Amino acid sequence: MFITTEPLNVKGEGGEKLVWEAIQSTFYQRKCLAYWRYPIFSQRGKFRKEPDILIADFELGLIIIEVKSITLDQIVNIQGHRWEYQNFYINFGNPYQQGENQLFALLEYLNQEPDLKHKVTAKVLVALPFIQQEDWKEKGFDQLPSCPPIIFKNHLFSSRSLEQLIQQTSPLISGQVLTDQQWELLLSILSGTPVFTQATHKVLSHEQSRGKILQQVKNYLYKFDLQQEKIAKQIPPGCQRIRGIAGSGKTVLLCQKAAIMHLKYPQWRIAFIFFSRSLYQEIIEQIDQWVRYFSCQQKIYNKNNQKLQVFHAWGSREQLGFYRLLCQVTGVMPLGVNQTTFQPPNEALGEVCIDLLKQKAIPQLFDAILIDEGQDLMVENWLYEGKQPFYWLAYQSLRPINSMSPQQRRLIWAYDELQSLESLKVPNASEIFGENLGNLVTGKYSNNINKTEIMSRCYRTPHQLILVAHGMGMGWLRPQGMLTGMSNQEDWKSLGYDIKGNLMEGEKITLKRPQENSPHPLASLWKDSLIQFNTYLSRQQEISALSQQIKHNLRQDGLRPSKEILVIVLGEYFESVKLQKTIATFLIRQGVDIYIPGTKDCNCLTVENHEDANQFWCEGAVTISRIYRVKGQESDMIYIVGLDHLAQKEDNLFLRNQLFIAITRSRGWVNLSGIGNYLFYQEFRNMINSKDSFTFIYTNPQQREIIGTEAGELLHRYRLGERNFQQAELSNVVLENLNLDDINLIGANLSGANLQYSKLNRAKLIAADLQKANLQGASLVNAKLMGANLRDANLTNTNLTNADLTDAILNSEI
């Protein structure tokens, strides 16, 4: 409901903070969305500035509040809308006109939608948080004909009077009461959803064809997602990690965040880094669209502007990447893959980063770095002083946010561990920066900006497909037990699942995914199954069937070959390369134009270095891709070929991850195939037949435990010997009957936490929030609780022998 795009703790923002807190108190029960500094940067006249406060209210419409933190004696004169100041950072201003200009710029967005054009009520107020209404009247300013509606200091202490003032303020634009559909449309425009509305084309096929159904899907208005809106619009004052399942919108949000940073702080130098070369064009196009959107088409992304640069993590001789850039500025000769010990791309990249870190000090070039596909930059074999080398290289190249906080640097990374193809390590802070900096993304910044965001909703892939993808990727119905998964309920919930049963070895559990976590509309429009699985006696039969199905899609379903149909080949390097070429050759002979990513043109079979080596699609051709090129891409009809390559090594988690990635590229349908007969195929059929409820015997994950919550991460890191968890966000967490001796939880939020019978001897809980925490039977011998908040905490039978409770907040003496 309330989004603070940046922390309100900068000197001089005290007045703005007072107004924003008053707005939150006044509007918290209303149907509304409010922003502190909504990121609209259009220029009208001399003005290019985002609104201080923007409120979208279901009943009241749009409200812009321009805040001026001035005292009465700083206002020298008012003539019309022009205010003259003294002892202020500017000599004059037009606060109401400024708010008007911001409002009209915002209305330009709304008026592009016929359902909202001239229908949204809109008003502007000026807030003077350091001036009393009586003093203003005494000066006679209220008698001026140009005196705007003003929120005074005395209004800020009464929610009722503030609400009445805003309601009674005459609107600049008189609209109408919005319908629920118009309200959803308004929210979607504020979030920027129309930017990525897919254009429809004429489909010459029957009404129930895939092409016709897709037209309906593209017209569907996705519901506004407050979490996505917060992540995209907020600029954290330090590190932030975003863990999101496939299809949750991580790349889109990172691109939006990069564009907003660039527009708001054009003097910053920002880098956007990714791992898969085929994403170059996709990311550049997305950033360009967001720059245009939030500048009202007045700005575009310029690849020659060094203030905002898009980098492949490594780069090549033809295209500068992040590693090569740092080699360039430090004067170090860059290394290529062939000059490294390990050939897997992520390991090779880790090796060359270590070489660079050892040779030269890394200059602080950037103010913010955003990393997509963060899981692919983790390594198993190369660490630099206990840290992940690429991340440490990026961290070192960042300027601290200020001299008082040298550790706080804007490194923002997004990841999904289930999409890792080379490493089972998870990019958490202690894995990346070492134990001493393991708390960089623990807890929150001020004004409710999370250091860690967890996104569990999947928007791209339909409900049935995301269930099968997760189930096969982890091995839910695998007879020998899961290969990877979660060991507590909160971690399952962070992935978007409800669970019944005890997560204990040999116990029966049932998993279900609520529909709201997979809101794709296709299942309600397409009556048949969205996933098909077929096996064949020979590869020739499999490829022949593939050809016939693609021809049907093109001739009967009305699908277009490029971007609507995608063939993905599974398997390890050599077998997948061979199968890719075999499929391509056969389809060409059958009259189907194909494209292999990285080749010069359609129907080429050889990948060569050329200027379009990053290309993934070719107009008029069906793309045939191996899994390493397909990451980050999506299509409506996905064909997954060579499932037998996985079935032969079904306990290989990296191969299962290939299957997960392949299925989750789909915006609509998936058709899988393989040859031969394997037990793995029955597991797959059982997954499909289970529909949306999965009951199986729980076993502890055999190869990797997935941890999705801060509580789970704390326990994992504690078991590995770490003790530093300052500022941890652990409100309402269950940490019952655990050994947490010597843990450092200085400043942590443990309000409402269940710590019954846990050992916290010698724990550092200085200034920790333990309000309403359950500490019954817990042992806190020699614990440091100076300044801790223990109000309403359950201290029954709590052992506080020699605990330091100096300045602690208690209900009564202990």
pLDDT of residue 612: 66
Helix (H) or strand (E) run with residue 98 in it: helix 95-110
pTM for this predicted structure: 0.91
Q: Tokens 């700083």 identify what position?
A: 74
b or e along 150-182 (b: 16 or more beta carbons within 10 Å of the residue's beta carbon)?
bbbbebbeebeebbebbeebeebbebeebeeeb
Q: Is 520 left (phi over 0), alpha (psi -120 to 50) or beta?
A: beta
pLDDT score recorded for residue 469: 96
The Cα-based distances of 571 to 168, 345, 646, 663, 732 in angstroms read 67, 17, 6, 14, 44
Tokens at residue 73, please? 């004696």
3-state secondary structure string, 232-272?
HHCCCCCCEEEEECCCCCHHHHHHHHHHHHHHHCCCCCEEE
Q: What is the pLDDT of residue 487?
A: 87
Closest CA relative to residue 602, chosen from 588, 581, 586, 582 = 588
CB-based contact 453:623 (threshold 8 Å): no
- Listed residue (121, 98, 97) closest to 110, CA to CA: 121
**Nearest by Cα to 669 from 195, 209, 196:** 209
Q: Please give the Cα distance from 490 to 484 (Å, whole number).
A: 16
Residues 695 and 632: their CA atoms lie apart, in Å, by 31
pLDDT of the residue at 13: 74
pLDDT of 195 reads 62
Profile the chain (814 residues) by mean pLDDT over runs of 10 residues.
82 82 94 90 61 94 94 91 89 90 88 90 95 93 91 94 94 92 90 68 79 84 79 94 92 95 94 91 93 88 93 88 96 89 86 95 97 92 91 96 90 92 81 83 83 92 96 96 90 92 93 93 91 97 97 94 96 95 97 93 82 85 95 94 97 95 96 96 95 91 86 82 84 88 93 94 96 96 96 95 94 60
Task: Give pLDDT, residue 613.
Answer: 76
Q: Are 624 and 595 in contact (CB under 8 A)?
A: yes
In the prediction, which pLDDT does 610 show? 58
Closest CA to 633 of 575, 550, 564, 695: 564
Task: Compute CA distances 743 → 267, 768, 809, whole Å.
Answer: 41, 12, 21
